[in-house]
Amino acid sequence: MPDYRRVWCPGGTYFFTHALAHRHGNDLLVRHVDLLRQAVRKVRGVHPFHIHAWVVLPDHLHCVIELPHGDARYALRWRLIKLIFSRSLTREDRPTAVQERRGEKGIWQRRYWEHLIRDERDFRQHIDYVHINPFKHGLVQCVGEWPYSTFHRLVEQGIYPADWAGEPDAEALPYDD
């Protein structure tokens, strides 16, 4: 078994990827995006964090979040988000008896990918990665077409142009040096 270690940085900004246990052809996250949003709101109410970027795809999600000063408990937040979301699903969206017999207890993969953001360039690259993902996976012709993303909020704030990524004239990323 690999020696897996996580980086714990109080007040840190992190990039995360979380995926469903059964990804192929699974649209559970977008089908129940409102339940996922509710779970995130509930957890943020008790264990605050700032969302810099977030995208929900059919079978996985990416985000960049910042923890409060002195707090490094991102694992607690993710455990609660996944738990609240999973428990809010109807019976047909939960694992079947066969899956449970095989030890497949949840809808989420057991592990997730986290990356501590190191500097401004790293931050910008991960924000772009989050938002380009629906285009990268062929879900849309232009990033702005994907509804489950903070991209739209960042367009309103003037950080991205509305036609960023996917349009013939939008070759450069907004943070390119």
> What amino acid is encoded at 134 in this protein?
P
Which one of 14, 74, 148, 160 is the catalytic residue? Answer: 148
- Name 1's Cβ contacts closer than 8 Å, sequence gap at least 6: none
Active site residue 148: yes
Contact 116, 9 (CB under 8 A): yes
Q: How far apart are CA 33 and CA 28, in angstroms?
A: 8
Phi and psi of 51, rounded to 5°?
A: -95, 115
Q: Which residues are catalytic?
A: 148
